[in-house]
């Protein structure tokens, strides 16, 4: 009987793992993906859905036809219980009907739980803010945004606040993209002067993006990300507040504490604030039937893997703290990738407000990083299926990342920041001066970024649908 | 970089080509920090 590889989740990490396993273990193992909604979402383009410059249909595709094509089974359900003793996962379909699926190898790629309740008053369902974390959220944001635009077109001034809604939130880059797209769209609609825009972020400084900043050599001179980001915010006439931890949101007003400053609040007509991410709530059971969730995960709900989770200060952070294989230390057939794995610590330096509130940008690990992890785990599981010891590694301290931050979708008048980091997490042992290979890092702002963002949208939707030649497009 | 250069078409075409080639080479692992099929570091 062939071994069974079970992948929980079909985001960047899980879906990429499924694509690569489809040919790596062809005829040697069966692969099944469990994910709800039969839908893949290309999240990087939701910033355009939120401003009404892209239709939501252009950012999604159905998963099942893709899996049918590449010989992977698909189950439309959510994972609830991982039984490590019997090697089964209890899943629930949309109707709430449970069933058990056996696995020989398990990949937890369940992505984030959007912790809106972590901040009182935050969120689109029961709170007072919107988000662009899902297609539905982005559509809801668009409707609210267009109301503000219509009011401005009728001559009414408005206030839009964009940023993160929790002191330990992540994905500041995506929120920044949305901010700059709102600015570009308002300009195009000729109502920019009637709308006050505010950037509210938990980053210790502008351009940190949760990765301890970005930099590049320009004519032999090191340019740090804070300078161009400040310049862009100034040019766009955005009120910018860094080091801010949002504490609560009332209808029309967001309250925050700020590092090195008094607490403050801002009035808004629309607030798009990203929530904190936590692990998807799942129960882990061992062979004796004991609940071992606390041992398998951190309090954040993310799964422990081969990282060094010893608490340490920012100065003591090391490149090798980060996981290499993304494998559970106690179960060598269980992996966690993408947002589902527990990072050992932040990448950025956390700070505290006067009241002692810790404000720290959590590590982003979406997009390219998630894709690389998914591929790496697929390669390692394929080695295990062949009876070999897995040796593919992709620490975030040896992993590159390219990020295109859109600042207007138009291919003629749009713009974007192109950011290349090598590696994502600084490694001062390999690169003593800056922790990164700054000769390869890049930071560019211009029209060319708008072209690249559109190119990546089309290329990756091609790749992720396993269309001919998809393997030529790297993660 | 000033607004003029961010819109200057020849420079933007050049940057589009060079940056995308660089990103492709890094993503392929041909250059860069070196994750891949090696002994665990």
Element (DSSP H or E) covering residue B11: helix B9-28
Task: Determine contact: B11 vs chain A, CB below 8 A.
Answer: yes
For A318-462, list the strands marked E by DSSP.
334-336, 351-352, 358-359, 392-393, 401-406, 416-421, 442-446
Question: Tens place of pLDDT for every residue, chain A, 475 residues?
Answer: 899 999 999 999 999 999 999 999 999 999 999 999 999 999 999 999 999 999 999 999 999 999 999 999 999 999 999 999 999 999 999 999 999 999 999 999 999 999 999 999 999 999 999 999 999 999 999 999 999 999 999 999 999 999 999 999 999 999 999 999 999 999 999 999 999 999 999 999 999 999 999 999 988 889 888 889 999 999 999 999 999 999 999 999 999 999 999 999 999 999 999 999 999 999 999 999 999 999 999 999 999 999 999 999 999 999 999 999 999 999 999 999 999 999 999 999 999 999 999 999 999 998 899 999 999 999 999 999 999 999 999 999 999 999 999 999 999 999 999 999 999 999 999 999 999 999 999 999 999 999 999 999 999 999 999 999 999 999 9
Q: So what's the ipTM on this one?
A: 0.90
Most B CBs within 10 Å: which of A446, A449, A456, as the mutation test of the B interface?
Answer: A446
Task: Determine contact: A398 vs chain B, CB below 8 A.
Answer: yes
- C-beta atoms of A446 and B37 within 8 A: no
- Search chain B and give the residue with CA nearest A413: B7
- C-beta atoms of A325 and B33 within 8 A: no
Peptide bond into A46 cis (omega under 30): no
Task: Determine contact: B10 vs chain A, CB below 8 A.
Answer: no
Q: Quickly count: other Cβ atoms within 10 Å of residue A15's Cβ.
A: 26
Task: Determine contact: B5 vs chain A, CB below 8 A.
Answer: yes
Contact residues for B7 (Cβ-Cβ < 8 A; gap 6+): A446, A447
Q: Which residue in the set A376, A398, A474 is minimally distant from B41, CB to CB?
A: A398
* CA distances from residue A235 to A209, A213, A231, A356, B21 in whole angstroms, order as listed: 19, 20, 6, 34, 30
Most A CBs within 10 Å: which of B33, B37, B39, B41, as the mutation test of the A interface?
Answer: B33
- pLDDT band for B40, please (50, 70, 90 cuts): very low
Query: Is A219 exposed, middle or buried, given 0-12, 13-18 or 19+ CB atoms closer than 10 A?
Result: exposed
Q: Tokens 């982003």 sit at which residue?
A: A364
Whether this model's pTM surpasses 0.90: yes
Q: How near does any CA of chain A get to the CA of B10, in Å?
A: 10
Task: Determine contact: B21 vs chain A, CB below 8 A.
Answer: no
CA distance A7 to A306: 19
Residues from chain B contacting residue A320 (CB–CB below 8 Å): 41
CA distance A250 to A232: 29
B25-32: average pLDDT:
87
Largest Cα span, chain B: 48
Task: Determine contact: B28 vs chain A, CB below 8 A.
Answer: yes
Q: CA A398: distance to chain centroid?
A: 19
Most B CBs within 10 Å: which of A448, A452, A455, as the mutation test of the B interface?
Answer: A448
Task: Determine contact: B13 vs chain A, CB below 8 A.
Answer: yes
Count of pairs with CB atoms under 8 A, one residue in A, one in B: 96
């Amino acid at each position: 009987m062939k071994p069974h590889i079970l992948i929980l989740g079909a985001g960047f990490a899980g879906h990429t793992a499924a694509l690569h396993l489809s040919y790596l273990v062809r005829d040697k193992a069966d692969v099944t993906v469990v994910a709800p909604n039969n839908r893949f979402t290309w999240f990087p383009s939701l910033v355009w859905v939120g401003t009404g410059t892209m239709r939501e249909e252009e950012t999604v595709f159905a998963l099942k036809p893709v899996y049918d094509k590449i010989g992977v089974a698909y189950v439309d359900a959510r994972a609830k219980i991982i039984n490590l003793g019997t090697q089964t996962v209890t899943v629930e379909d949309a109707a709430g009907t449970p069933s058990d699926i056996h696995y020989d190898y398990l990949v937890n790629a369940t992505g984030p739980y959007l912790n809106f309740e972590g901040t009182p008053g935050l969120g689109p369902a029961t709170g007072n803010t919107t988000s662009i974390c899902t297609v539905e959220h982005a559509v809801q944001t668009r409707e609210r945004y267009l109301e503000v635009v219509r009011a401005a077109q009728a001559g009414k001034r408005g206030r839009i606040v964009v940023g993160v809604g929790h002191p330990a939130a992540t994905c500041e880059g995506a929120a920044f993209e949305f901010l700059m797209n709102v600015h570009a769209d308002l300009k195009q609609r000729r109502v920019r002067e009637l709308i006050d825009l505010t950037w509210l972020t938990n980053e210790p400084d502008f351009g940190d993006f949760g990765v301890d900043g970005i930099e590049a050599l320009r004519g032999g001179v090191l340019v740090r990300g804070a300078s161009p980001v400040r310049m862009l915010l100034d040019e766009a006439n955005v009120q910018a507040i860094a080091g801010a931890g949002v504490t609560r949101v009332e209808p029309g007003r967001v309250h925050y504490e700020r590092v090195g400053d008094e607490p403050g609040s801002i009035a808004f007509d629309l607030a798009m604030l990203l929530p904190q991410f936590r692990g998807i709530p799942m129960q882990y059971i061992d062979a004796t039937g004991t609940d071992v969730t606390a041992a398998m995960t951190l309090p954040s709900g993310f799964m422990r893997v081969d990282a060094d989770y010893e608490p340490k200060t920012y100065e003591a952070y090391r490149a090798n703290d980060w996981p290499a294989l993304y494998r559970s230390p106690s179960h060598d057939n269980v992996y966690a990738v993408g947002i589902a794995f527990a990072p050992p610590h932040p990448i950025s330096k956390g700070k505290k407000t006067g009241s002692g509130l810790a404000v720290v940008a959590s590590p982003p690990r979406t997009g390219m990083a998630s894709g690389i992890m998914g591929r790496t785990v697929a390669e390692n599981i394929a080695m295990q299926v062949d009876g070999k010891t897995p040796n593919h590694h992709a620490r975030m301290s040896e992993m590159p990342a390219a990020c295109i931050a859109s600042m207007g979708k138009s291919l003629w008048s749009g713009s974007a920041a192109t950011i290349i980091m090598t590696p994502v997490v600084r490694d001062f042992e390999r690169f003593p001066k800056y922790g990164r290979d700054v000769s390869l890092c890049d930071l560019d702002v211009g029209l060319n970024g708008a072209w690249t963002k559109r190119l990546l949208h089309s290329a990756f939707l091609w790749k992720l649908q396993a269309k001919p030649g998809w393997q030529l497009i790297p993660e | 970089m000033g607004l003029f250069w961010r819109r200057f078409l020849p420079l933007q075409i050049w940057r589009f080509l060079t940056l995308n080639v660089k990103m492709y080479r890094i993503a392929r692992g041909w250059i860069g920090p070196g994750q891949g099929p090696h002994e665990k570091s």
